Amino acid sequence: MKVICTKLPLSPTGEVLEASPWVTLDAEYCVVSLLANPGGRVEIQIVTDDGRSLAWYQSVYFITVDGTVPDSWTVQIGEGGMLELAPTAWLVPGFWEAYYDGDPSAVDAVEAELRRLR
């Protein structure tokens, strides 16, 4: 799945940004997972401008240019009705904690998936 940034996200303090270190207006991004909150807010996880960092953004800042859902994704309804679409391994409880703690198997799983998606 690919999207284009149509509007820069607001700063953490709510200010309108003229530029961002993570995303560029009109640039294309690979979506690596998606969350749909029961309240209606949809968030996408993308590979940012540095080509290696992952970040979550509200979908209102992007439009889809390729809606192909990767074969490796699983759909899951989580706690509180959160709808999650992501690579199966990424939906295992504790996966992201392991990844950010540097667990080699979690890091390898993310890197392998990113290679598949690009």
Give the model confidence (pLDDT) of 49-63 as tens digits: 998 899 999 999 999
User: Looking at the domain assignment, is residue 108 inside a domain?
Assistant: no
What residue numbers bound the domain in which 74 lies?
2-92
DSSP-assigned letter for residue 40? S
User: Looking at the domain assignment, is residue 9 inside a domain?
Assistant: yes
What would the mean pLDDT of 29-35 be, rounded to a whole number?
96
User: Looking at the domain assignment, is residue 32 inside a domain?
Assistant: yes
User: Looking at the domain assignment, is residue 64 inside a domain?
Assistant: yes
User: Looking at the domain assignment, is residue 20 inside a domain?
Assistant: yes
CA distance 64 to 88: 22
- Count structural domains, the chain: 1
What are phi and psi for residue 64, nearest 5 degrees? -80, 135
CA distance 43 to 22: 16
What would the mean pLDDT of 83-108 be, rounded to a whole number?
96
CA distance 20 to 48: 10
Q: What pLDDT is recorded for position 80? A: 92
